[in-house]
C-alpha cells in the first residue's frame, strides 16, 4: 500500500470520527451549544489531536524509539520539575513573589527554574565540575552513560571527547564561558544602544537623525553576515596586536546588537517623551539628567527587561553559531558551539549506538534549553504587561 493511500485513508477515518464525535456529543448533551455550533473542522482537529496522542503512547513502547522515549521522559521530567517549582514558589517567599507565582503558566516557571540552574552552574562551575576544562584524561572517546558494557566509564558519566577531555566538565565550564560571554556582550550592547536610544528620543533633532540613519544602514546588513565579515578583519588585528579574538568578538557582536537595542529604546523613549508628565517636567525647568533618569527610565524598565531577554537569546545564538562555524570563542576554552562541531560526527552512530550520538546533542541541547527558557519567561512577561487585551 503506498504511503499516500495510507494518508488519505487516515484522513477519511479522522473525518468520519469527527462527524461521529459531533453527533454523539449532540445526542449525549441534549444539543448543548458547545456541540451544536461546533464546525466539522474543529471536530476534525479534536479527533486528529486524540489520534496523535494515542499514536505517541503506542510509539513510546516501540523498541526502536530510544530517542523518542528520551525526549518524552525529558519533557515529562521538566514539566514535573516546573510544577513543583511553581508550587514551591506559591508557598515560600514574600507576598509579592507568591502572587507572581500564582498567575504563572507552567512554561514560565520552567523558564525561571532553568535560568536559575544555569546561573548556579555558571557561577560555581569550578566547584561543580569534576575535572578541569582543558584537562586531558588519557581515555579518549569514552561513551556517555557510564555503563562499561557499552564502552562507558563510571568516572566519566558523559564520556570523553576525541582527545580525552571529560565532556561533563566541559559542558559545565561551557555554561560559564558561553553564557558568561553572551551575558557580558548583551550588557555592553544595552549600555551602548540604550544610552544612544534614550538620548536620541529625548533630544531629537539632528542627533536623532544622524544616529537613526547610521543605525538604519548597519541594520541593512544581516547580523550574522556582518559579524562574520568583521570577525575576519578582527582575526588579522588579533594576531597583529596579540589580543585574544574573543574580546573582539564581544565588541563586534555588542556593536551589531546595540543597533537593535537603539531602535527599541528610542521607540520606547519616544512613546514616553510625548506624555504630558514629561511636558510638565520640561515646563518646570528640569534638566536632561532628571528627565532621563527620573521620568523616562522608570517607565521603560518593563519593555527593556523583556528586550534584554530577547537580545540575550539572540547574542547567545550568534556566539554559538560563530563558535560552531569555528570563528567564535577560541579553544582551549570549553564552549558549547565548538563542542557541537567537534562531536558532530558521533551523530552517525545513532542507529546502532544511541548513547554515542547523545554527546553532541547534549551540547546543542544545552544551548537550546537556555534560549527556550529565556523566551518562555519573556513571552510571559510580554503577555502580562500587555494586559489581557487579546
Partner 1 sequence: MSALVEINDLWIEGRSDEQWNPIINGASLSLNKGEVLGLIGESGAGKSTLGLAAMGFTRDGVRISGGSVRFDGIDLVNASAAVKRELLGKRIAYVAQSAAASFNPAHRLIDQHTEAPVQHGVQSKAESQADGIELYRRLRLPNPDEIGFRYPHQVSGGQLQRAMTAMAMSCRPDLIIFDEPTTALDVTTQIEVLASIRDIVEQFDTAAIYITHDLAVVAQMADRIKVLLKGDEVEEAETREMLSSPKEDYTKSLWAVRSFQRKQKAPAIAGATPVIRVKNVNASYGKVPVLHDVSFDIHEGRTVAVVGESGSGKSTAARCITGLLPPRSGHIEFDGEVLPLDYRKRSKMQLRQAQMIYQMADTALNPRKTIGELIGRPVEFYMGLKGAEKRKRVEHLLEEIELEPSQYFHRLPSELSGGQKQRIGIARALAAEPKFIICDEVTSALDQLVAEGILKLLAKLQDSLGLSYMFITHDLATVKSIADEVVVMKDGRVVEHGPKDEMFRPPHHPYTDLLLSSVPEMDPDWLTNLLAERGIDNIGDAAVDKM
Partner 2 sequence: MGGVLRIILQRLFLGLLTLLVVSVVIFVAVNLLPGDFAEAILGQGATPEAVASIRADLGLDQGMVVRYFSWLSDALRGDLGTSFAQANFASFVGSSANLGGVTVADQIAPRFANTMFLAGVTAAIAVPIALTLGILAALFRNSIFDRATNILTLSSISSPEFFLAYILILLLAVVNPILPSLSNIYDGMAFGERLQKTLLPALTLTLVVTAHMMRMTRAAIINLLASPYIEMARLKGLSPLRVIVVHALPNALAPIINVIALNLAYLITGVVVVEVVFVYPGIGQLFVDSVKIRDIPVVQASCLIFAAAYILLNLLADILSILSNPRLRHPK
201-237 b/e with 16+ CB inside 10 Å = b? bbeeeeebeebeeebeebeeeebeebbbebbeebeee
The least distance separating partner 1 from the CB of residue 189, rounded to whole angstroms, comes to 25
Closest contact distance (angstroms) between CB of 183 and partner 2 is: 16
**Residues found near partner 2 in the complex (CB under 8 A):** 42, 45, 49, 64, 67, 107, 216-218, 220-226, 228-233, 235-237, 239-241, 313, 317, 320-321, 324-327, 337, 340, 344, 347-348, 350-351, 357, 360-361, 364-365, 367-368, 371-372, 374-376, 379, 389-390
**Least gap, CB of 149 to partner 1 (angstroms):** 53
Q: Which is nearer to partner 1, 63 or 285 (CB)?
A: 285
- We find the least distance from the C-beta atom of residue 79 to partner 2, in angstroms, to be 11
The residue (of 289 and 351) whose beta carbon lies closer to partner 1 is 289
- In the list partner 2, partner 1, none, the entry touching 232 (Cβ below 5 to 8 angstroms by class) is partner 2
Q: 3-state DSSP call for residue 160?
A: strand
* 15 alpha carbon, distance to own chain's centre: 38
In the bound state with partner 2, the residue whose beta carbon lies nearer, of 137 and 171, is 171
Q: What is the DSSP string of 91-108?
A: HSS-HHHHHHHHT--HHH
Taking the C-alpha atoms of residue 186 and residue 368, their distance in angstroms, rounded to an integer, is 18
| Spatial contact of 317 and 371, defined as CB atoms under 8 Å apart | yes
Q: Report the half-sphere exposure of 82 (CA within 13 A, side-chain side).
A: 20
> 223: which 3 cell numbers?
547580523
Dmax (CA) of the chain? 82
Minimum gap (Å) between residue 382 Cβ and partner 2: 11
- What, of partner 2, partner 1, none, does residue 33 touch, CB below 5 to 8 Å by kind? partner 1
Interface ranges with partner 1 (CB under 8 A): 33, 36-37, 103, 275-277, 279-280, 282-286, 295, 298-299, 388
CB 229 within 8 A of CB 248: no
The one of partner 2, partner 1, none whose footprint includes residue 348, by CB under 5 to 8 A per kind, is partner 2
Among the listed residues 126, 118, 123, the one whose alpha carbon sits nearest the alpha carbon of residue 367: 118
Of partner 1, partner 2, none, which one sits near residue 342, judging by CB under 5 to 8 A according to partner kind?
none
Amino acid at each position: 500500500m503506498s504511503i499516500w493511500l495510507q494518508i488519505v485513508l487516515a484522513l477519511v477515518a479522522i473525518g468520519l470520527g469527527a462527524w461521529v464525535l459531533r453527533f454523539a456529543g449532540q445526542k449525549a448533551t441534549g444539543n448543548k451549544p458547545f456541540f451544536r455550533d461546533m464546525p466539522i473542522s474543529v471536530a476534525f482537529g479534536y479527533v486528529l489531536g486524540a489520534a496523535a496522542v494515542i499514536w505517541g503512547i503506542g510509539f513510546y513502547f516501540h523498541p526502536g524509539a530510544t530517542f523518542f522515549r528520551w525526549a518524552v521522559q525529558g519533557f515529562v521530567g521538566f514539566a514535573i520539575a516546573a510544577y513543583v517549582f511553581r508550587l514551591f514558589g506559591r508557598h515560600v517567599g514574600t507576598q509579592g513573589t507568591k502572587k507572581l507565582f500564582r498567575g504563572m503558566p507552567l512554561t514560565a516557571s520552567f523558564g525561571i527554574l532553568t535560568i536559575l540552574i544555569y546561573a548556579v552552574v555558571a557561577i560555581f562551575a569550578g566547584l561543580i565540575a569534576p575535572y578541569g576544562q582543558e584537562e586531558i584524561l588519557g581515555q579518549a572517546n569514552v561513551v556517555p552513560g557510564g555503563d562499561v558494557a557499552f564502552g562507558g566509564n563510571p568516572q566519566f558519566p558523559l564520556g570523553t571527547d576525541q582527545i580525552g577531555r571529560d565532556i561533563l566538565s566541559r559542558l559545565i565550564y561551557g555554561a560559564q564561558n558561553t553564557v558568561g560571554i553572551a551575558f557580558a556582550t548583551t550588557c555592553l550592547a544595552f549600555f551602548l544602544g540604550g544610552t544612544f536610544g534614550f538620548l536620541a528620543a529625548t533630544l531629537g533633532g539632528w542627533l536623532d537623525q544622524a544616529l537613526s540613519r547610521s543605525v538604519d544602514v548597519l541594520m541593512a546588513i544581516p547580523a550574522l553576515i556582518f559579524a562574520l565579515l568583521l570577525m575576519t578583519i578582527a582575526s588579522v588585528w588579533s594576531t597583529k596586536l596579540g589580543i585574544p579574538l574573543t574580546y573582539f568578538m564581544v565588541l563586534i557582536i555588542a556593536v551589531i546588537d546595540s543597533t537593535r537595542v537603539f531602535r527599541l529604546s528610542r521607540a520606547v523613549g519616544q512613546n514616553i517623551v510625548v506624555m504630558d508628565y514629561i511636558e510638565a517636567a520640561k515646563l518646570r525647568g528640569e534638566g536632561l539628567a532628571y528627565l532621563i533618569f527620573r521620568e523616562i527610565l522608570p517607565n521603560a524598565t518593563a519593555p527593556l527587561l523583556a528586550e534584554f531577554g530577547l537580545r540575550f537569546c539572540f547574542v547567545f545564538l550568534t556566539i554559538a553559531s560563530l563558535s560552531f562555524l569555528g570563528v567564535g570563542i577560541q579553544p582551549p576554552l570549553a564552549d558549547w558551539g565548538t563542542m557541537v562541531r567537534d562531536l558532530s560526527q558521533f551523530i552517525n552512530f545513532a542507529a546502532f549506538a544511541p548513547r554515542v550520538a547523545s554527546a553532541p546533542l547534549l551540547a546543542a541541547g544545552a544551548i537550546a534549553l537556555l534560549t527556550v527558557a529565556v523566551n518562555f519567561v519573556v513571552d510571559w512577561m510580554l503577555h502580562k504587561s500587555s494586559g489581557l487585551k487579546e
